Structure 1
Amino acid sequence: MSEIVIRHAELRDLDALRQINAQPEVYHNTLQIPHPSLEMWQERMQNPPAGLKHLVACINDVVAGHLVLSVEPNPRRSHVATFGLSVCGQYRNRGVASALMQAMVDLCDNWLRIERIELTVFVDNEPGVTVYRKFGFEIEGTGKNYALRNGQLVDAYFMARFRPV
């Protein structure tokens, strides 16, 4: 199996990120909408808000996954980060999500002084919930009718992980 390399996303990754997030199996489990434009991704990558980090997982120099980490800008919540994760369909079940999660947890625990990492995941996204639990995330609650997906309102779990003491 090829090695997974994690690095910061670069402008050359724009089209790969757009294509990954245009896959129905990806936007089905995120808050993205279908048909993301290249211009939207250019804006996200060229003018990121403060505290935003884009990581990519590459296999043989091909972008296979993407994680966006956002450190909360409010001083009273500067110990908190949230993130979103997507993996290209053809690279699922190859450790891409776990490699991105490991890099993100290391960044938060050892470099950014993050004490709490939060996420929201649809309740029927069992692979997502499984990988998040693997990295110490726990379900804190459920948001009923949290988001619209394929014309239906669906529930989501609120999960969090605290930095080990």
Structure 2
Amino acid sequence: METFLLKNGEKVFIREALPNDAQQIIDFYNLVGGETDFLSFGKDEFTTDVAAFQTTIQKTQQLQGSIMYLAIANDEIISIATIDSPLKKRVQHVGTLGIVIRETHTGLGLGKKMMNELIEWARTNGVTEKITLLTREDNETAIQLYKKLGFETEGILKKDTLINGTYYNTLSMALLLQKN
């Protein structure tokens, strides 16, 4: 899809996920789950088996309102960005966004780049009119980026996450897309 340089000069390639990426994606999720507490899963908690995840990727490729992008540097996944939309007609115009970045590659412009790729894809896919996301209320760096990109707070889910005996609130945010 596209090659670009991070702020540190590292070359990154962004492309759509393929079924044969399944094992590497599972490994990535299990790794990053141990790098931050801002995700909905921890280290080694992504337990989907390879065959099932290959099927998930295949289904995602077939859906007009869903996408999974990989950012790759030095033959390793450094970020995954997704939009998932339901099949139900009444709500398929709403896509749920998820983004994960390796700790080693945060603060280098990758999050903004991946978010912009998803937003542009959503604007042109013919289905998505609203993008939603969930983030922990104390994830200030991510929230600043989301707000810069036009996302607004829609609500707070109280005590939505429990990590090591501590409850955290979750912020629900959304971006309404302009129809061209």
Which residue number in structure 2 is paired with residue 131 of structure 1?
A: 145
Which residue of the partner structure matches residue 21 of structure 2? 13
C-alpha distance after superposition, 1:37-60 (max 9, x if no partner): 565354223334554422111224
Give the structure 1 partner of residue 53 of structure 2. 44
How many Å separate the matches in 1 of 2:40 and 2:142?
14
Look up the match of 1:74.
88
Correspondence for 1:25: 35
Q: Note the residue ranges of structure 2 that are not aligned, 5 or more in a row.
A: 1-8
CA 142–98 in structure 1, closer or farther in 2 if over 3 Å, else same: same
Alignment of 1:78-89 (within 5 A): 78-89=92-103
Secondary structure of the 1:76 match is coil
Q: What TM-score, normalized to structure 2?
A: 0.80
Shift of 1:80: 0.7
Matched, 1:93 2:107: yes
Q: Deviations over 1:83-104 (max 9, x none)?
A: 2110011111112211211111
1:108 matched residue in structure 2:
122
Q: Is contact 1:72–1:78 with CA below 8 Å preserved after alignment?
A: yes
Q: CA 1:99 to 1:45, structure 2 compared with 1: closer, same or farther past 3 Å? A: farther
Match of 1:156 in 2: 170
**CA distance in structure 1 between the partners assigned to 2:168 and 2:93 by the alignment:** 29
Residues 1:34 and 2:58 are matched in the alignment: no
Say whether the 8 Å CA contact 1:79–1:116 is kept in structure 2: yes
- Give the Å deviation of 1:109: 0.3
1:118 to 132, 146, 158: 132
Give the Cα–Cα distance (whole angstroms) in 2 for the partners of residues 147 and 37 of structure 1. Answer: 17
8 Å Cα contact 2:95-2:131 kept in structure 1 = yes
Count the aligned residue pairs. Answer: 164
Q: Percent identity at matched positions?
A: 21
Distance in 2 of aligned mates of 1:42 and 1:128: 32
Q: Which of structures 1 and 2 has the larger relative contact order (alpha carbons within 8 angstroms, sep 6+)?
A: 1
With structure 1 as the length reference, what TM-score do the two structures score? 0.86
Q: CA shift at 1:73, angstroms?
A: 1.6
Distance 2:143 2:24 in 1: 25
